[in-house]
Amino acid sequence: MKVYTSRGEVPVNEKWNLEDIYSDLTKWENDLQVVEEMAAKLKGFDGAIQDGKSLYEYLKQREELSYKFNHVYAYSMLRVDEDTRDANSQSLLERAKGLSVKVSASTSFFMPFLLGLEKETLNSYMLEEKGLKYFEEDLFESFRYKDHVLTKDQEEVLSQLGEALSAPSTTFGMINNADIKFGEITNDNNEKVQLTRGMYSKLIEDEDREKRREAYKAYYKPYVELKNSIASTLSAAIKNNVTLARIRKYPSALEKGLFGDMVPKEVYENLITATKENIAPLHRYSELRKQKLQLDELRQYDMSVPLVQGVKQVIPYEEAYETMMKALAPLGEEYITILREFKDARYIDVRETPGKRSGAYNLGIYGVHPFILLNHQDDLDSLFTLAHECGHGVHSKLSSQHQPQITARYSIFVAEVASTVNEVLLINYLLEHEGNSDVRKHLLNHFIDQFKGTFFTQVMFAEFEKITHKLAEKGTPLNVEIFNQTYEALFREYNGDVVVFDDEVKFGWSRIPHFYRPFYVYKYATGFAAAIHLATKILEGDNETLQAYLNFLRSGSCDYPLELLKKTGVDLTTPVPIENAMKKFGELVEEFSSL
């Protein structure tokens, strides 16, 4: 595989085309200016909205501002991500961030104003001004929060406390990203070197068990040493969340977390209960792992090593793209045409180059098209990442085409459905077209491990959040001991008795940044389960499900997430989708076992 030493070496057709947003910098500068003027104008509406006409005028101008501002911000962000070292791009992004502060300040008066209105007053405005029909759902959606919004003065105090309340998360981020120093490991030249995260993700999959053990111990070393500091930041984050839920009159912190997506707490509880009732195949997989690795004891540092060695495939980008299109053919001609356009019209930035942002993402820009960032490595993981991000990309494209700006963006709750459906169709295609039994085993192992990480691990995290928030609500002090006990008990329950515990296992809670964004991880698991259900039906040739799924991709956020999924035949208020996903996992483990 070619290693690129600069962006200039990458073929043009493998770089995204940012001229689709702005053909030159003058146009960006011009829009930046225009947004600034529009923000100043919006500020003038504070205290001046007296009737339907002025309310409509404000909302219309705010939407126009939002459209332009998104273009300004996205362009500067994408420029920086091409090369994070480039000072010119950094300066554009800094200016866009400064503009973002002005935009927020100019519209901050509106929510308290709106929630201060009586419903009758808002209804009379609606009758008075026909243009408000377009904003109606949004306006009345805001009213759902009325019981949880405080007086203007109290809201002002809370907003000023914002930075203090986010301090636990900021502190953990600093510890985890800036200050943490991992232990030492022995490199190939028999020298002691300090472990990095990048090295760890490779070493924990190494065939040499002693290397895995050494990396595991070195990785956990700082977390164990800093256990009291990290426990105090996590404890404070949980207590802050519980206190805010109380202040805002939510029945519990969990229900506060689910309120925005209008998800009843039964969905969260169903997910945990149905997973635990069907956990046997996961325990069976741990047994298989122990047998396959021929170990007397299976430990946590044995959980990530691939079980099939010597089958590393080289899959060049062109071939990966063709394979993906063949695998996704069951989604129909329109879907495949869009994918072809992604490649031909340069929506994708493919190659890893010095300074480029790591990882992968999709960014949909309303009025332009999606942009996809990859760091393609010509391997199996990169093929799956390509299919995953293109799932998000097509979702963005179809929602933007079929929805007005106000409902074009989809919620995080449904986002992972589109990406995971693609991954399930891809693994199915690869298994169907692979004759080599070692490669088949490798593919199955890859998908089982992914299923485990995206589903079971996230459900375990979700249960940890639920338990620790409940303890805080009862006034139980949260400390290292409580976190260790809770995490260890859950780890045992989910992974089975076959795993022999090193002391580090119980400190797993101390390294998870998602715990500082409470009640979020469960969405990975529900999205994954919904995708498994839909992909299975589509592969069975169920045309009704296929059409419903394509409509779902066109729907943006025109309804609440659970309702959008119900229209595809997935009802997450029942345990059925979770049970189906568990059944699928059981089948994968059985097939792997028989091979």
Angle, in degrees to the nearest 10, between helices 412-432 and 437-451: 170
User: Would you say the pTM of this structure is higher than 0.85?
Assistant: yes
- Mark whether 389 is an active-site residue: yes
pLDDT the model gives residue 343: 98
CA–CA separation, 510 and 513 (whole Å): 8
pLDDT the model gives residue 579: 92
Low-confidence stretches of the chain (pLDDT beneath 70): 152
pLDDT the model gives residue 550: 98
Q: Which of 36, 389, 416, 465 is catalytic?
A: 389
CA–CA separation, 481 and 487 (whole Å): 10
pLDDT in tens, 537-587: 999 999 999 999 999 999 999 999 999 999 999 999 999 999 999 999 999
CA–CA separation, 108 and 501 (whole Å): 51
pLDDT the model gives residue 1: 74
pLDDT the model gives residue 176: 87
Residue 350, φ and ψ in degrees, nearest 5? -90, -50
**327 Cβ neighbours under 8 A, 6+ residues apart:** 387, 422, 425, 426, 428, 429, 430
pLDDT the model gives residue 400: 98
C-alpha 395: how far from its chain's center? 14
> What is the identity of the amino acid at 579?
E
pLDDT the model gives residue 359: 85
pLDDT the model gives residue 201: 84
Whether residue 253 contacts residue 473, with contact meaning beta carbons closer than 8 Å, is answered with: yes
CA–CA separation, 373 and 389 (whole Å): 8
pLDDT the model gives residue 358: 83
The residues that bridge with 499 in the sheet, in sequence order, are: 298
370 SS3 class: strand
CA–CA separation, 283 and 276 (whole Å): 11
Domains and CATH numbers, the chain: 7-159 (1.20.140.70), 249-311+436-595 (1.10.1370.20), 315-422 (no CATH)
Instruction: Give the Cα-Cα-Cα angle 79, 85, 91 (nearest 5 degrees).
Output: 60
